[in-house]
Amino acid sequence: MPDRHALLSASSSKQWLHCPPSARLQEQFPNESSVYAAEGTFAHEVCEYKVRKYLKERVKHPQSEEYYTEEIDQITDVYAEFVISIIEEMKRNGCEPLVMVEERVDYTHIAPSGFGTADMLIVGKDENGNGVLHIADFKTGQGVFVDADHNSQMMLYALGGLAAYGYIYDIKIVRMSIIQPRLDNISTFECTREELENWGESIRKIAILAYEGKGEQRAGDWCRFCRAKPVCKACKDEALSLCREEFLDLDEGAFNEGAFSDESMQSDGIRASPDDNIENCESCENGTVPVFKQPGLVPLTELAQILPTLNRISSWIESVFAFVSSEAINNGVTIPGYKVVEGRSKRMFTDTKAVVDTAVANGYTDLYKQQLISLTEFEKMMGKKKFKELLGVYVTKPQGKLTLVPEDDPREAVDLTATPETPDREFAAIPDEGE
103-to-38, 110, 117, 190, 219 alpha-carbon distances in Å? 20, 18, 5, 20, 32
SS3 content of the chain, % helix, strand, coil (to 5): 45, 10, 45
Q: Are 245 and 261 in contact (CB under 8 A)?
A: no
- What's the mean pLDDT in 306-333? 80
Where along the chain do its domains lie? 13-217, 229-317, 372-435
End-to-end, the C-alpha distance of the chain in Å comes to 30
Q: How many CB atoms lie within 10 A of CB 299?
A: 9
Q: Is the pLDDT of residue 91 over 90?
A: yes
Q: Hey, which of 167-181, 288-302, 314-328, 330-344 has the most confident mean pLDDT?
A: 167-181
Residue 383 has pLDDT above 70, yes or no: yes
Between 87 and 398, where is the model more confident?
87
Which residues are bridge partners to 137 per DSSP?
178
Cα 162 from Cα 203, distance rounded (Å):
17
pLDDT at 321 over 90: no
Whole-angstrom Cα distance, residue 256 to residue 409?
40
Closest C-alpha to 12, from 230, 207, 237, 215: 207
Mean pLDDT is lowest, of 88-97, 137-146, 361-370, 396-405, for 396-405
Strands 171-180 and 185-192: antiparallel
pLDDT band, very low/low/confident/very high, at 143 (cuts 50, 70, 90):
confident
Question: 13-217 belongs to which CATH class?
Answer: alpha beta
> In terms of pLDDT, which residue wins out, 197 or 129?
197
Say how far apart CA 119 and CA 154 lie, in whole Å: 10
* Gyration radius of the chain's alpha carbons: 27
pLDDT, tens digit (0-9, with 9 covering 90-100), for 244-261: 765 544 444 444 544 434
Would you say residue 371 has pLDDT above 90? no
The contacts of residue 230 (CB under 8 Å, 6+ apart) are 316, 319, 320, 322, 323, 324
Stated as kind and residue range, the H or E segment containing 174 is strand 171-180
Which pTM was predicted? 0.67
How much is the average pLDDT of 106-127?
94
Of 405, 403, 409, the C-alpha closest to 149 is 409
Exposed, middle or buried by CB within 10 Å (0-12, 13-18, 19+), for 20? buried
pLDDT range class, residue 139, cuts 50, 70, 90: very high
Residue type at 278 in one-letter notation: I
Q: What is the mean pLDDT of the chain?
A: 80
Candidates 315, 335, 317; CA nearest to 325 is 335
